Structure 1
Amino acid sequence: MEFKRYHPATILFDLYGFVKNVAIFAIMLFVFNYGSESMLVRIGRWALLFGAALTLVSLLLKWFSNRYAADEQAFHLKAGIFQKTERTIYYEKVQNVQRRTSFLHKLFHMTSVSFQTGATGVDAKVEFKAVTQHEANRLESLVKEASTKPVEVPDTDAHLMEMDKGEIERVIHFTPTRKDVIKASFTSLSFLFLIVIAASAFSKINALFDVEEAVEGWVLSLLTSGWVIAGIATVLIIVSFTIGYIRTFITYGKYEIASDDARIYISKGVLDESAFSILKKRVQGIEISQSFMKRLLGLAEVKLISAGSLGSDDDEVSTLYPFLPVKGAYSMIEEMLPDYEVSTELKQLPRKSLVVRIMKPYWFWLIVTAALTYFRTNLFDKPNVWWMISISLLAVLVLARIANYWNTSYAITDRFIQFTEGTLGKTTYLTRRDKIVEVSVKRTKLQQWTGLATIGLVNRAQPVRHASLPDVTVNEAARFYSWYALRGEEVRVEQERK
C-alpha cells in the first residue's frame, strides 16, 4: 500500500483560512494605526508577524509529514510532526459525503471533499481540503462501492450483476425553475432590507447635518411629496428585489436533488458549489418545516436527520431545498425514500389538552407584569398604560397556546410516527420505528389529574435528536409504548434478512 502526500494546494487553503481569521487584527494594527508609536501596537504587530511565520512553517512541516492512502477497504491516515499517529477509517463507517468547490477552488481547478462518520473526535470525518476533481471522484467511488452490498441472484441473471457500479443511473427529483427562485426571493423578504437601510441612513444623516433645514423651498416640497416618496420607495423595492433575486440565484440557481438505489445527492451553488450525499439507510428521520410566510405561499423546507455528523453547517447541507411546494415535498420524500410514508390523515389532540395548555403557568407574563408594576411610574406618563400592556401580553400568550393546540396533530401507523406542531409556522417530524433508539412517557401533576401524558422519542444523530408530543391521552401513550415494543421483532427480522 502506497502512501502519498496531500495536494500542495492544501498549504494555500490552510494559509487562506489563517489570513481570514487574523485579517481584522491586521487591518487594525497596520492600517488604522499606521504610523502609531504605541508600545502595545508595536508588540501586536510583531506578535502577528511572528504568528504568521510560525503558521507558515507549521503548515509546511504538516504537509511534509501527513500522508494518506485509500485501498479497497479503508482510508489509512498518517499525521503528526513530532508525535506520529496512524488511523484507519473503514468505508463502511462513512455515512455522509460532502463536497465543496469554492470560488478559490475553481481558480486552481480543485475541490474539497469530506467523509463524515458516525464517530466523535478525530475519527468523526476524513477531510481533503484541496484535491483534484479526478482524485475526489476516485475517493467517492471507493466509498460508494463499499456501501453497495452485492445482491444474490439466480445464475440465469448473473450477467445483470456485471454492470459497472459507477454506472448506476441517478434519478433527478427536483431542479428549481425561475418561478421557484422568485418565490424564494420573496419568501426571504430581502426586498425590504434596502428600504430599511435607506431610511436608517437618512435619519442618521439628517441628525448630523439637519438636511430638512438645509433644503428649502420647492426642493423640500418636492422631496416631501407623496408621489415622490412613493416613486422612491418603488425604485428601492425593485432594486432590493433584484439584489435578492441575484443573491438567491447564486445560492440556489444550480440546485439539484437526485437519488439512486443507495444514496441521495444534493448539489447547489453558482460561484461557490457544494455537493452532499447521504446513504438512504442512514436517514433517521425527516423534518418538514414551514414558516408563516412559507405557509402563505404553500412552501416547505425538508431536512434529513442523519446518524452522522454533517460538519459545521449541518442545517444547510442536510436541507433538501428550503422552498419546496408542500405537495411536491411529500411526493418527493416517497420517491426518494420508499421506506418512508408521509401521512396526511392526522389525529387532533383531545379537547381537554387545550384546557391543560391554557391552565399552565404564564411565567413570562408574570415576570413582565412584575417589572411593569415596579417601574410604571418611571416608564409611563399615563397610569393605566402598564396594566393595558400586561393584559395585551396575556391575551397574545393565550391566543398563541390556542393556535399551537389547533396546529398540533399526530399519527402512529404500522411502522411510522409523525408529529406536527407550531403556532404561526408548522414543523412536522417523521421517523420509522426501527430508527428510534429510546422512548419515554412522562406525566406532570396537572396531566395526572386530567388523564394526559407526554410521549417522547430519541433518534441517533449528532447531536442526538429528541422529539416529544405533549398532552396526549393516557390510552394513546400506552398504545405508543406497545407500538414501540414491536421494534425488537422488527429489527430481528431485518438482521436475519442481512
Structure 2
Amino acid sequence: MTTTPDPPPLAAERERRLHPWSWLFVLIGSVRQFLVPLAVLVIFGGRREEGVQLLVAGAVVLVLALVSVWRYFTYRYRIDGDSLIVRSGLLERSLRQVPFSRIHNVELRQTLLHRLFGVAEVKLESAGGTRPEAQMRVLKLDDALALERLIRHRGRDVAGPAQGEAGGAAEGDTLLALSSAEIVRLGLISNRGMIVVGAALALSWQVLPENMVKRAFDLVWREAFGYVEHLDGGSWATALAIAGVVALALVLVRLFSVLLALVRYHGFRLQAHGRRLTVERGLLARVRSSVSRRRIQAWTLREGVLHRWFSRRSLGIDTAGAQAEGSEAQSRDPPELAPIATPEACDGLLRELLGDAAWPPEGWQPLHPRAWQRLLVGDAVFAALLVAGLCWYLGPWGLLGLLWLPWGWLLATRHARFAGYHADARLVAVREGWWSRHWRFAEIDKLQALQLRQSPLDRRFGMASLWLDTAGAGAASQPLRMRYLPEAQARELYAGLGRDVARRQLRW
C-alpha cells in the first residue's frame, strides 16, 4: 500500500456504496473457501459423472456470484457525526451504528488484484465479539484511507480546524523500519517455512487419494536410499549421505522461510499517528493496520535460541479487539510491533510507548528456591512414560530414555535461575524460559481479574501462582502467569494487586 497524498475527507450524511467491483472480490473470497472441495470434485471424480460434476461446480459459482452482486446493491454506509452507519440486507435489513471511539483496530488490506483495481479491503474491530464490526469489501483506495484517517483522529472534523493537525501527522513518526537484511534474519530465525511445508503435507494427505500420497513417499524413499546404496565406503558413508540429505532439506526449508518473510514483511514500518500506532507491511499483498495505544492490554518480548545467535528479539502485543473463533482465529496473525529488532531497539520502543513506566525493570524477584524441583516433576513423569514405552518395544535398550532426565534437569535449573517477576505502581511483569525466553507484562490499569492458584504439588512445595487476565486475553494469547512463587509472597502480592485493581479505573 503505497503512501499517497492526503485523501479528501468523507462527506457526512451521504450514503455511499462499495466500489462497483466489490462484487467481484466478494465472489473471489467466497470461491476461495470452496476451491479445494470443488477441485477435488472435478479432478478426482469419476469420468461418467464428469458432466454432472462440472454442472454442480458451475451452479455453485453462479449462486455465489448472485449473492456477491446482491451484497453490493444492498450495502450502504455513511458518516453521521462521530459514528459510522452501515445499512445492509434486503429481505432481512440491518442498520448498524459503530461509534469511532469504540473502534479499536483498523485494518486495510490490498492484494495484487486490489492494487490493480486501486481498491482496498477495510476491517473495523471493537473489543469483544467474534466478528468485525464492519468489513467492507471493497472501497476505493482514497475512500479507505480517508475512513482510516477519520477513525484515527476519533471522529474529529478533519475538514475543520483539526485538518492542519491531521494533515501534518499523515505520515506519522516512524518508530521502526525493517531493512531487507533484517527481514532475511527474521526468515532465518522463524520456522514459518517448516509450518507451511508441514501444513501442505497434512492437507495433501487429507485431500489427495491415499494411494497417491503413499506412492509419492515410496518413490522418494527408494530414490534416496537407492542412491545411498550405490556409494562406496560402508556404513559411515551411508550415514553421512543420509545426514547430507537431511541437512539439504533443512537448508531448503530455511530458505523458504526467508522467502516467506520477504513477501510478508517487505517495507515494514511502525509509525505513531498521535494516539494510534500503524503497521504497514507486505510485498505482494499490502496490509496496513492501526490500533489505539490505550487499547494495548499486554506486551510480550520473545527471544529464542536463533534470536540470541543474531542478537535479536521480537515484540508483540495483545489488544482489546474482537476475538475470532474457528478458522478465522487460526488464520489471524498475532499483532506484532517489532517482528525482529535488537534488544536495545525493543527496550527503546517500550520506553517510548509506555511513557513514564521504567523498562527494563531493575529489580526482578526470584521464584521459590525449590522451583526447579517443581519444574522437574513434569520431566520425570515424561521420562518414566518414555522408558516404559521404549522398553515395551526395545527391551533393555529402552532404558536409554532415562537420558531425558539430565536434559530435563538442565532445563529446570536454568529456567528457575532465569525466571522472575516484578511489580511496581505501574507495571506487573514476568520472565520465563531459558532455551526459549520470553518477558510478558501489563500495566496494572489494564488488569481485570486475578487468580491465586495452588495444585497439590504446589502446596507440597509451599508455593503458589498468580494468573492475571486483561481485556485482550483471548484463545490465542498466553495469560500473564507468575508461577511458583513462595506462598507468602504470592498471597501478599495477590492482596496488593487486588487493592490496586479495585480502586483504579479499567483503561481499555
The residue that corresponds to 1:472 in the other structure is: 485
**Distance in 2 between residues matched to 1:126 and 1:262, nearest whole Å:** 22
* One-letter amino acid of the counterpart of residue 138, structure 2: A
User: Any conservation in 1 of the 2:270–2:279 contact (CA below 8 Å)?
Assistant: yes
Could you tell me how far 1:323 is from its partner in structure 2? Answer: 1.6
Could you tell me how far 1:84 is from its partner in structure 2? Answer: 1.2
The yes-or-no answer on 1:46 pairing with 2:64 is no
**Distance in 2 between residues matched to 1:76 and 1:29, nearest whole Å:** 42
In terms of mean alpha carbon deviation, does 420-429 or 174-183 score higher? 174-183
**Distance in 2 between residues matched to 1:242 and 1:255, nearest whole Å:** 20
The residue that corresponds to 1:164 in the other structure is: 165
Q: Which has the higher contact order (CA 8 A, sep 6+)?
A: 2
**Distance in 1 between residues matched to 2:318 and 2:51, nearest whole Å:** 50
The residue that corresponds to 2:449 in the other structure is: 438
The yes-or-no answer on 1:395 pairing with 2:409 is no
The yes-or-no answer on 1:486 pairing with 2:500 is yes
Q: 1:72 to 1:202 in 2, by over 3 A?
A: same
In terms of mean alpha carbon deviation, does 70-79 or 109-118 score higher? 70-79
1:82-97 pair list within 5 angstroms: 82-97=91-106
SS in structure 2 of the partner of residue 248 of structure 1: helix
Could you tell me how far 1:247 is from its partner in structure 2? Answer: 3.7
What's the CA shift string for 1:71-112, capped at 9, x where partnerless?
222111112232112111111110111111111101111111
Could you tell me how far 1:237 is from its partner in structure 2? Answer: 9.1
The yes-or-no answer on 1:419 pairing with 2:437 is no
The residue that corresponds to 1:300 in the other structure is: 313
**Distance in 2 between residues matched to 1:137 and 1:372, nearest whole Å:** 61
Could you tell me how far 1:52 is from its partner in structure 2? Answer: 1.6
User: Any conservation in 1 of the 2:228–2:238 contact (CA below 8 Å)?
Assistant: no
1:256-267 pair list within 5 angstroms: 256-267=269-280
**Distance in 1 between residues matched to 2:341 and 2:181, nearest whole Å:** 12
The residue that corresponds to 1:156 in the other structure is: none
Q: 1:4 to 1:315 in 2, by over 3 A?
A: closer
**Distance in 1 between residues matched to 2:134 and 2:194, nearest whole Å:** 42
Could you tell me how far 1:474 is from its partner in structure 2? Answer: 2.6
**Distance in 2 between residues matched to 1:162 and 1:298, nearest whole Å:** 43
Could you tell me how far 1:432 is from its partner in structure 2? Answer: 0.8
Could you tell me how far 1:252 is from its partner in structure 2? Answer: 1.8
- TM-score normalized by the length of structure 2: 0.79
In terms of mean alpha carbon deviation, does 62-71 or 297-306 score higher? 62-71
1:198-347 pair list within 5 angstroms: 204-205=219-220, 207=222, 212=227, 245-309=258-322, 312=328, 316=333, 318-338=335-355, 340-345=357-362, 346-347=364-365
**Distance in 2 between residues matched to 1:127 and 1:53, nearest whole Å:** 23
* One-letter amino acid of the counterpart of residue 76, structure 1: I
SS in structure 1 of the partner of residue 359 of structure 2: coil
Could you tell me how far 1:337 is from its partner in structure 2? Answer: 3.1
1:173-184 pair list within 5 angstroms: 173-184=175-186
- TM-score normalized by the length of structure 1: 0.81
Q: 1:422 to 1:230 in 2, by over 3 A?
A: closer
User: Any conservation in 2 of the 1:310–1:317 contact (CA below 8 Å)?
Assistant: no
**Distance in 2 between residues matched to 1:202 and 1:444, nearest whole Å:** 46
User: Any conservation in 2 of the 1:276–1:317 contact (CA below 8 Å)?
Assistant: no
Could you tell me how far 1:442 is from its partner in structure 2? Answer: 2.2
Could you tell me how far 1:284 is from its partner in structure 2? Answer: 0.8
Q: 1:368 to 1:317 in 2, by over 3 A?
A: closer
**Is there any run of 5+ residues in structure 2 with no aligned partner, and where?**
1-12, 202-215
* One-letter amino acid of the counterpart of residue 5, structure 1: R
The residue that corresponds to 1:154 in the other structure is: none
**Distance in 2 between residues matched to 1:55 and 1:266, nearest whole Å:** 33
Radius of gyration: which is bigger?
1
What's the CA shift string for 1:355-413, capped at 9, x where partnerless?
3333568443343344344xx2xx32xx4201222x12333333332232123111111
Q: 1:64 to 1:354 in 2, by over 3 A?
A: same
SS in structure 1 of the partner of residue 347 of structure 2: helix
The residue that corresponds to 2:8 in the other structure is: none
Q: 1:351 to 1:235 in 2, by over 3 A?
A: closer
452, 457, 463: which is aligned to 2:474?
A: 463
* One-letter amino acid of the counterpart of residue 133, structure 2: K
**Distance in 2 between residues matched to 1:339 and 1:297, nearest whole Å:** 30
Could you tell me how far 1:240 is from its partner in structure 2? Answer: 7.3
The residue that corresponds to 2:5 in the other structure is: none
74, 78, 83: which is aligned to 1:74?
A: 83
**Distance in 1 between residues matched to 2:217 and 2:53, nearest whole Å:** 38
* One-letter amino acid of the counterpart of residue 106, structure 1: R
Could you tell me how far 1:306 is from its partner in structure 2? Answer: 0.5
SS in structure 1 of the partner of residue 184 of structure 2: helix
**Distance in 1 between residues matched to 2:44 and 2:103, nearest whole Å:** 48
The residue that corresponds to 1:368 in the other structure is: 386
The residue that corresponds to 1:10 in the other structure is: 22
**Is there any run of 5+ residues in structure 1 with no aligned partner, and where?**
151-159
What's the CA shift string for 1:303-322, capped at 9, x where partnerless?
11101127646863511132
**Distance in 2 between residues matched to 1:444 and 1:361, nearest whole Å:** 17
Q: Percent identity?
A: 15
Q: 1:213 to 1:303 in 2, by over 3 A?
A: closer
Count of aligned pairs:
468
User: Any conservation in 2 of the 1:70–1:139 contact (CA below 8 Å)?
Assistant: no
In terms of mean alpha carbon deviation, does 237-246 or 424-433 score higher? 237-246
